[in-house]
Amino acid sequence: MTTFTCIHPQYLIPVEPRATVLREHCLIFDDAGIAALLPSHEARQQYPDAKHLELAAHALLPGFVNLHAHSAMSLLRGLADDLTLMNWLNHHIWPAEKKHVSHEFVFDGSLYAMAEMLRGGTTTVNDMYFHHDAVALAGLHAGMRTVVGCSILEFPTGYASNAAEYLEKAINVQAEFAGQSGVDFRLAPHAPYTVADDTFQKIIALAEQHDMGIHCHIHETQYEIDESLKQYGARPLTRLHKLGLLNQRLIAAHMVHANDDEIALLAQQGVHIAHNPASNLKLASGFARIDAMQKAGVNVGLGTDGAASNNKLDLLGDLRMAALLAKAQSGNPTALNAFAALEMATLSGAKALGMDQKIGSLKAGKQADLIAIDLSAIETQPLFDPISQIIYAAGREQISHVWVNGKCLMEDRQLQTLNQNALQEKAKWWQDRIVNA
């Protein structure tokens, strides 16, 4: 027998139709998905035997989609701060990863990150790291909707010795988890400066053969562009376009340094952007031209990047940052308004992953990936516009409930599938091991 849950929030924000806020409405769902959005009095009449949850001071909205993360790097949070990207990578992060990254490290670090993300309202993560099966297993354990980006580089790591081995492991792990609900896989070439032309061409062919998306850091720093001009005589995006990488399969992470012609090319080719405002600021990578991209028709989602370069996996906090930066960078206070920012973290992220028919908005027939935000706190009162209040005033600690695929993963700030104490003990164990290595 089907058991329905009916949630009665103060504000129901479905994202579709755009900028809609429903009052005195209820969302009804079961494990098969969202059944209906109805006026509350109708829901009580039509679903008398359902579980009715009253959230009289809350907003109910779709769960956030973190479009670019390195979840396992939560165990490296604070290891090396206030450095340039290449210094940070070459002299601190990559050496630490060489010593410590293993299946156990990735599973523990990913699970720890997922706990933080769930507590911040993120219900879907598009990851990029090594030991792909460990990331997938962590996602299944946590109940988080997980897209596993299978990292590909030319040089050896503790995970693989060359590009061919990275590719082989990526295809094998996709086959291993085929048909597993809640887990998907993407090919994730690290960046233009760590992947050769021949490997990119193999990635393009494999993505088409296995119907996989592609996830890659592109135009993150000016240094990347300068080095590409020296080595290839072209900017990275031009080089990748000639190779055939730019299409709707691609999520380009960062894309900080894009000129007008490149923005037009991104729009023409249907490339999706994962905007990472906090990481871009912390590493002084620059200011992505989000307003110009959106005006050109580029689909832009939001990412946190890893906890080693953010250092918080706080998509709600990054939403506020993204909205404010877009205004300052463009000189336009109307750029990336509150609803456009919310859409970036929900429906736009889902679209980038090819999941917008399942998640990203609250519509009958979609999956019940939901979050509830308590707006009764002194920090979010008085309240004139709930969407504006969520983007500009609310904090992640006000997120009270999280559901993924109809399953409650957090209730009244208490995680339901993960043991917080055990996770913190494991993180401390890794801290001691890294410090004493």
Pair 27, 171 in one domain: no
pLDDT of residue 159: 94
pLDDT of residue 427: 96
Looking up tokens 């209730």 gives: 411
Classify residue 433: in a domain, yes or no. no
Q: How far apart are CA 353 and CA 123, in angstroms?
A: 13
Classify residue 36: in a domain, yes or no. yes
Q: What are the residues whose beta carbons fall under 8 Å from the beta carbon of 414, sequence distance 6 or more?
A: none
Q: How far apart are CA 101 and CA 97, in angstroms?
A: 5
Question: Measured in whole angstroms, how far is the alpha carbon of residue 52 from the centre of its chain?
Answer: 30
Classify residue 48: in a domain, yes or no. yes
Pair 21, 130 in one domain: no
Pair 341, 367 in one domain: no
Query: Can you point out the beta strands (E) in 77-225?
Result: 122-127, 145-152, 183-189, 213-218
Q: How far apart are CA 415 and CA 18, in angstroms?
A: 31
Pair 111, 43 in one domain: no
Cα angle at 74 between 435 and 219, to 5 degrees? 115
The boundaries of the domain holding residue 45 are 5-62+361-405
Number of domains in the chain: 2
Pair 216, 247 in one domain: yes
Per DSSP, 190 falls in state: -
Q: How far apart are CA 389 and CA 275, in angstroms?
A: 22
Classify residue 413: in a domain, yes or no. no
Pair 143, 244 in one domain: yes
Half-sphere exposure of 191 (CA within 13 A, CB side): 19
Pair 230, 274 in one domain: yes
Which pTM does this prediction carry?
A: 0.97
Classify residue 415: in a domain, yes or no. no
Q: How far apart are CA 139 and CA 183, in angstroms?
A: 7
Q: How far apart are CA 390 and CA 320, in angstroms?
A: 9
Q: How far apart are CA 200 and CA 207, in angstroms?
A: 10
Helices and strands per DSSP (H, E), number in the chain: 17, 17
> Digits of tens for pLDDT over the chain (437 positions)?
568 999 999 999 999 999 999 999 999 999 899 999 999 999 999 999 999 999 999 999 999 999 999 999 999 999 888 888 889 888 988 888 888 999 999 999 999 999 999 999 999 999 999 999 999 999 999 999 999 999 999 999 989 999 999 999 999 999 999 999 999 999 999 999 999 999 999 999 999 999 999 999 999 999 999 999 999 999 999 999 999 999 999 999 999 999 999 999 999 999 999 999 999 999 999 999 999 999 999 999 999 999 988 999 999 999 999 999 999 999 999 999 999 999 999 999 999 999 999 999 999 999 999 999 999 999 999 999 999 999 999 999 999 999 999 999 999 999 999 999 999 999 999 999 998 87
pLDDT of residue 1: 57
Q: Kindly report the backbone phi and psi dihedral angles of residue 251, in degrees, each rounded to the nearest multiple of 5, phi listed first.
A: -110, 115
Classify residue 430: in a domain, yes or no. no
Pair 110, 213 in one domain: yes
Pair 208, 306 in one domain: yes
The CATH number assigned to the domain holding 162 equals: 3.20.20.140
pLDDT of residue 370: 98
Classify residue 344: in a domain, yes or no. yes
Secondary structure class of 429 (helix, strand, coil): helix
Hey, what long-range contacts does 374-381 have (CB within 8 A, 24 or more apart)? Answer: 374/55, 374/57, 374/58, 374/398, 374/399, 374/400, 375/10, 375/11, 375/57, 375/58, 375/59, 376/57
Q: Which of 282, 317, 352 is the last residue of a domain?
A: 352
Please state, in angstroms and as integers, the Cα–Cα distance from residue 43 to each residue in 53, 91, 224, following that order.
Answer: 12, 59, 55
Q: How far apart are CA 375 and CA 390, in angstroms?
A: 8
Classify residue 153: in a domain, yes or no. yes
Structure tokens at 48: 């008398």
Pair 289, 371 in one domain: no
Residue 165 β-bridge partners? none
Pair 133, 279 in one domain: yes
Q: What are the residues whose beta carbons fall under 8 Å from the beta carbon of 196, sequence distance 6 or more?
A: 154, 163
pLDDT of residue 96: 87
The CATH number assigned to the domain holding 386 equals: 2.30.40.10
Q: How far apart are CA 71 and CA 149, in angstroms?
A: 11
Pair 276, 295 in one domain: yes
